[in-house]
Amino acid sequence: MIDKTMTFSLGNDQELEIRRVLTTVYDALKEKGYNPINQIVGYILSEDPTYITTHNNARSLIRKVDRDTLLQTLVKYYLTA
């Protein structure tokens, strides 16, 4: 019998989901004529969902992602890229 400890991580799946949400939100904002970067930063800083359009369900999607987790993922991505 092999006595090894298995590790389990949701990190990659969670990061992929955050990427999917951000891409959808970015595209929806762009389609509506907004500056997506400014709008997303406004949302992250204020947690005011009105920075995000309801187009393509973007506002609902981004609110499913914890703001702290979103910011942590963005910083991690930026520093490891």
Q: What is the pTM of this model?
A: 0.81
Give the separation between CA 20 and CA 24, rounded to whole angstroms: 6
The band of 1, judged by pLDDT with boundaries at 50, 70 and 90, is low
- Chain segment 18-56, per-residue pLDDT in tens: 999 999 999 999 999 999 999 999 999 999 999 999 999
The closest of 79, 52, 80 to 65, measured between CA atoms, is 52
Q: Answer whether residue 11 shows pLDDT above 70.
A: no
